[in-house]
Structure 1
Amino acid sequence: MQTITPPSSIAFIGVGTMGAPMARHLIKTGFRVSVHDAFPGAREAFVHEDCKVALNAMDAARGAAAIITMLPTAKDVRQALFGPEGAVKGATKASIVLEMSTINAQESRIIARELDAAGLRMVDVPVARTPEHAHAGTLLAIAGGAKHDIAEVTPILDSFCEQVFHVGPQGAGIRLKLINNYMSLVGMLLAAEGLTLARKAGIDRAQALKLLALTPAGRGQLTTNFPRKVLAGDIKPDFPLRMGLKDLKLSLELGDELSCPLLLGASARTVYAQAFAWDRADQDCTAILHLIEDLSQADADLRDRSNLIERYDDLTHS
């Protein structure tokens, strides 16, 4: 199988905060890069770079082995690909699209289908980490697509990514990226609530940070308790859910006393209280994972998907 390596031509559409350093890494790696951005200032930043500055996406895509879109919204992606001067009009049938934006997951699937109808392949490859990592070339690629397509574009991703995670078929990349961002953003709110509660309680922030950095509260359950308990199949109670509910109530009482709103805590109390109805109150606190799976009917969804796949296989092999 052939891969896209330097000096292949790459169209990079969307050279903003994240896209600009990514495009520069491609240039340094030896790819022939054409950049385009709807904002003149973003284009002008590449005037003195060793690349082509295209006035539209169609021009950028001409002769490109790969077309990268790194844009703010699905509307921007659609305009860049399918607009009057869109990349599809300049692409060849051999071109592959790397859609790297963080957009609605369903829109990503629709765009992939429309590209397929136009004779073009697409992989969804959003990235994780920050602009600092983009400049350092140490982003994480979260790739969804056919195995051979991901292999074909991996040399491109290696230019600005520390690791490439192929997480499943087309659509899996953007889904996992949204899950990552959900956890990150909710975690920010949790950290803000905790530090505010500490401040209102008269606790020195430096001391609070010093302690929390040494506990699962600060280090995160995914890297501490979850791997050794629920993800290892062990829900024998080190600390049962019923005691977790008790401590949540005590923490919320402290928040009320100090007039400190704990919005996540109030929602968490409602969920932890469900442990009794689902006969999980005496299981380990990490069994909150199973409780959420119960409430979301995750097992039933998996069975339904498995049955659909089996029926599809039967139809396609009959």
Structure 2
Amino acid sequence: MKKLGFIGLGNMGMPMAHNLIKAGYEVNGFNRSKGKEKTFEEFGGKAGLEMTELVESVDVVMTCLPMPDDVERIILGENGVLEHADEGTLIIDFSTVSPSLHTRIEQAAEKNGVRYLDAPISGGTTGAEAGTLAIMVGGKNSAFEEAKEYFDVVGANVTHCGPIGQGTKVKLLNQYMVGLHTAAVGETLYLAEKSGLDHDLVYNVLSNGFGQSKIFDRHYSQFISQNKDEPGFALQLLLKDLGLAKEMAGESNVSLTAGPNVLQMFEQANEKGLGEKDMSALYQYVKQQEQ
């Protein structure tokens, strides 16, 4: 059985790596915050190596990182993954970055005899813990077939979308809709409140009509109704993804109307200090704007 390395043991990466351990794989984890590595060891993982040592000791390197700069630095940077990966290594990036960055990484990887897949994920921390994530994969079919056994451990809806970057394009469409739905939830609940309607009543009625969505279910039942804003997925991360979706639209010569307005809402919410809260906290921003 091949040895796996997992870089980025955050809210999504930790449960994904844990599921791989439970499936019987030997997984060596690396995280900037060493407290996370200690937790990972308690789950049965291996830790303690420098990142370069980890890369040199495994057959498959998986990364799950928050920002595009992190991915570029960790994989392409000095003393990065590609500099230390042996020929034949498979690299799988679960992060959400730009399709163009994935193209640059694949080109650099091929020069070193390394295979590369972009495999952004959707389903939140609940899906990561349950192993039911949606995984949208871009890259060569041979690499996808090799990685399928790992994807099937951490995900329940795995789709090979085409060449490198195509998985990320599908993910950005998903995030575009998440952003629109999040804005709709925030404004709808505030409008209901100001119209004298009970939130629970509105949620229960709309959840049985065409207004129902997974985002409405998530935001209201898990966060807003409980006055909880500790992030399952931080508002600033969705802001990042909406910015990437805007770049994608520009590269495709598509002029969008709703998206830019929603992006502006997220930018302003981030400026007002809501960025590190859960993305459902856009509801708080809507309320603040009207007060």
TM-score norm. by structure 2 comes to 0.69
3-state SS in 2 of match to 1:187: helix
Once the two structures are superposed, residues 256-313 of structure 1 have per-residue CA deviations (whole angstroms, 9 ceiling, x without a partner) of xxxxxxx969x79xxxxxxxxxxxxxxxxxxxxxxxxxxxxxxxxxxxxxxxxxxxxx
C-alpha distance in structure 2 between counterparts of 1:162 and 1:155, whole Å: 12
1:106-121 alignment to 2 at 5 Å? Answer: 106-121=100-115
Once the two structures are superposed, residues 51-82 of structure 1 have per-residue CA deviations (whole angstroms, 9 ceiling, x without a partner) of 32143221111242211011111221122223
Cα distance, 1:219 vs. partner? 4.5
Cα distance, 1:174 vs. partner? 0.9
The answer (yes or no) to whether the contact 2:18–2:45 under 8 Å persists in 1 is: no
Structure 2 residue identity aligned to 1:125: A
Give structure 1 stretches of 5+ with no counterpart: 1-6, 221-262, 269-318
Cα distance, 1:49 vs. partner? 4.1
1:213 corresponds in structure 2 to 207
C-alpha distance in structure 2 between counterparts of 1:54 and 1:122, whole Å: 25
1:310 corresponds in structure 2 to none
Q: Cα gap change, 1:29/1:219 in structure 2, threshold over 3 Å: closer, same or farther?
A: closer
Structure 1 residue identity aligned to 2:84: G
1:89-238 alignment to 2 at 5 Å? Answer: 89-219=83-213
The answer (yes or no) to whether the contact 1:56–1:86 under 8 Å persists in 2 is: no
Give structure 2 stretches of 5+ with no counterpart: 215-256, 263-291
The answer (yes or no) to whether the contact 1:12–1:67 under 8 Å persists in 2 is: yes
Structure 2 residue identity aligned to 1:80: I
Length, aligned pairs only: 219
Cα distance, 1:122 vs. partner? 0.7
1:83 aligns with 2:77: yes
Q: With CA pairs under 8 Å and 6+ residues apart, which has the higher RCO, 1 or 2? A: 2
1:67 corresponds in structure 2 to 61
Structure 2 residue identity aligned to 1:139: L
The answer (yes or no) to whether the contact 2:11–2:125 under 8 Å persists in 1 is: yes
Q: Cα gap change, 1:217/1:49 in structure 2, threshold over 3 Å: closer, same or farther?
A: closer
C-alpha distance in structure 2 between counterparts of 1:88 and 1:144, whole Å: 18
1:35 corresponds in structure 2 to 29
1:47 aligns with 2:41: yes
Once the two structures are superposed, residues 91-112 of structure 1 have per-residue CA deviations (whole angstroms, 9 ceiling, x without a partner) of 2111111011111222222222
The answer (yes or no) to whether the contact 1:128–1:140 under 8 Å persists in 2 is: yes
Cα distance, 1:15 vs. partner? 0.8
C-alpha distance in structure 1 between counterparts of 2:134 and 2:187, whole Å: 29
- Which is higher, the Rg of structure 1 or of structure 2? 1
C-alpha distance in structure 1 between counterparts of 2:212 and 2:115, whole Å: 42
C-alpha distance in structure 1 between counterparts of 2:80 and 2:141, whole Å: 27
C-alpha distance in structure 1 between counterparts of 2:76 and 2:40, whole Å: 24
C-alpha distance in structure 2 between counterparts of 1:197 and 1:112, whole Å: 47
Identity among equivalent pairs (%): 28
C-alpha distance in structure 2 between counterparts of 1:37 and 1:49, whole Å: 15
Structure 2 residue identity aligned to 1:174: T
The answer (yes or no) to whether the contact 2:37–2:47 under 8 Å persists in 1 is: yes
The answer (yes or no) to whether the contact 1:57–1:81 under 8 Å persists in 2 is: no
Q: Cα gap change, 1:157/1:11 in structure 2, threshold over 3 Å: closer, same or farther?
A: same
TM-score norm. by structure 1 comes to 0.64
C-alpha distance in structure 1 between counterparts of 2:209 and 2:147, whole Å: 40
